[in-house]
Amino acid sequence: MADRHGNAGWPPYPGRVIVPAPELHPDVVVLAPLLGTWAGEGSGEYPTIQPFSYTEEITFGHVGKPFVTYVQRTRAADDGRPLHAETGYLRAPAPNRIEWILAHPTGITEIQQGQVLIDGETMQMDLISTAIGRAESAKEVMAVGRSIEIHGDTLTYTLRMAAVGQRLQYHLSAVLRRMTD
């Protein structure tokens, strides 16, 4: 059978395809402690909104190239409604340096840069936005900063934001645990 482009043998596989996991690219070995799925709870506040609590799931993965993939989803802790989502890529272009490229469905993109430090079993990342892109319909966001720490199977973070006329300040924090299969 041919596909709509005339390629014979379509579909190429009758069922699910299992692709073996590639080796982690040497440029991002420093980011290996991130890999996996993390879940937990967090809270947020900002001068323009009511304080809130949320549940969160984050997955860091890789495809063997010099970047780590990132997917994040949150839900309200009180009723489970979807709150936020973002996706992106992390790169380690130089020793102790990290770049995080993010896209939000709210019309915001971020490029954050900072440092990554490993001290024994603890990984720390501190980043600040160097560029924010904004769709015409998106809320005004001027800056975002993230501080992340991993110790064993616990990931904690805080997020700071300058938006809608407010200065850079605390917005979110969470404690996540690595999920096991």
Give the pLDDT confidence of 114-171 residue by residue, as tens digits: 999 999 999 999 999 999 999 999 999 999 999 999 999 999 999 999 999 999 999 9
Is position 114 within any domain? Answer: yes
Is position 170 within any domain? Answer: yes
Indicate the number of domains in the chain: 1
Average pLDDT score, the chain? 92
Half-sphere CA count of 132, side-chain side, radius 13 A: 18
Is position 20 within any domain? Answer: no
**Could you tell me the residue range of the domain that residue 97 belongs to?**
35-178
Is position 91 within any domain? Answer: yes
pTM over 0.85: yes
**What is the rounded distance in angstroms from the CA atom of residue 154 to the CA atom of residue 136?**
38
* pLDDT score recorded for residue 14: 60
**What is the rounded distance in angstroms from the CA atom of residue 126 to the CA atom of residue 23?**
26
Rounded mean pLDDT of 99-108? 97
* pLDDT tens digits along 6-45: 444 445 556 667 777 799 999 999 999 999 999 999 999 9
Furthest-apart CA atoms within the chain: distance in Å:
60
**What is the rounded distance in angstroms from the CA atom of residue 71 to the CA atom of residue 67?**
13
Is position 123 within any domain? Answer: yes
Give me the CATH number covering residue 94: 2.40.128.20
Residue 176 has pLDDT above 90, yes or no: yes
CB 75 within 8 A of CB 42: no
Is position 1 within any domain? Answer: no
* pLDDT score recorded for residue 12: 53
**What is the rounded distance in angstroms from the CA atom of residue 61 to the CA atom of residue 67?**
9
Look at the block and give the residue holding tokens 């936005």: 129
* pLDDT score recorded for residue 181: 65
Is position 47 within any domain? Answer: yes
Is position 23 within any domain? Answer: no
Check residue 8 and report its DSSP letter. Answer: B
